Structure 1
């Protein structure tokens, strides 16, 4: 059974464990790098989970952490960030559950759209987002750590 649990600053250790695992396992998929966070002090982790208006969740399967995602409000839209599903959670509905949790949160805060960024070539994530109704945009995403590739920006009206 997949359980989705909202988290806050007091859950920083659980989020840290997942975030570091994500940055190691799928370094190509994130703008941040493992070295940016590996030695971060507790306060930095707590601060990331204390952003005003943000909503962050951890997914677990039978009590074992299996993924994470976050949502941040920006004017009339929100942004889905830091989404990652652990290898042992892939193909079991964890990605769908995380997407649904963020989409439900976004609707409750009254935004009109959700946007996200995905790395070109990350086909499993891109396909998940397409299945959830996101479409590619012409917006330029942020530069990736290699300074060459840019993220693809996708958007979904709510």
Structure 2
């Protein structure tokens, strides 16, 4: 378990300590709510299938929690952020990075990213990829500021361009 102390931020005044930890049984509703709130403002910019694949539902989240390492950030029992990672050979892949909108700009997303990268590196990962969509320009900038670069690979994501990012872990 990794405890993160973030600098005080006006949007965090009503939050207690934020704990970053592996997801566990009972976190599902909080993860689904976090994904829905984080991606909700972009719903009209997604195709319906792409949005459903992004925000998930109970069965798809259960499958993700079985096949990937899911991390959550919690405060006073509330899930306020999440990210998932998987590993095949020495390459990792990230999915479902989300932070509640009220906590954007607080450093929480960076702490989640560092936590999942630490786990991947500890598992022998040397290279990590992630995919994002064009409406998420702030996320693209965030990933670039954290050492990720566009790989040049763009695939179809239910009728939307999906842009791959890559980072070498040292």
The normalised TM-score by structure 1 is: 0.80
1:5-51, Cα deviation, whole Å (9 max, x unpaired): 2103443222222233334233347974249977x4x5543232111
Q: SS of the counterpart of 1:33? A: helix
Give the secondary structure class of the aligned counterpart of 1:49.
Answer: helix
1:37-52 matched pairs, under 5 angstroms: 40=57, 42-51=58-67
| Residue 22 in structure 1 maps to residue 35 in structure 2 | no
Distance (Å, rounded) in 1 between the aligned partners of 2:55 and 2:109: 23
Partner deviation per Cα, 1:110-149 (whole Å, 9 max, x = no partner): 01101011212422111111111111111123x233x1x3
* Alignment pair present for 1:110 and 2:110: no
2:162 equivalent among 145, 151, 158 = 151
Provide structure 2 residue ranges, at least 5 long, that are not aligned to the other structure.
1-16
Report the CA distance between 1:109 and its aligned residue: 0.7
TM-score when scaled to structure 2? 0.75
RMSD: 2.7
Contact 2:31–2:79 under 8 Å retained in 1: no
Q: State the partner residue of 1:138.
A: 152
Match of 1:5 in 2: 21
Distance in 2, Cα, partners of 1:68 & 1:29:
20
Deviating beyond 6 angstroms after TM superposition, the runs of 4 or more aligned structure 1 residues are: 35-38
Determine the C-alpha separation between the residues in 1 that align with 2:114 and 2:18: 12
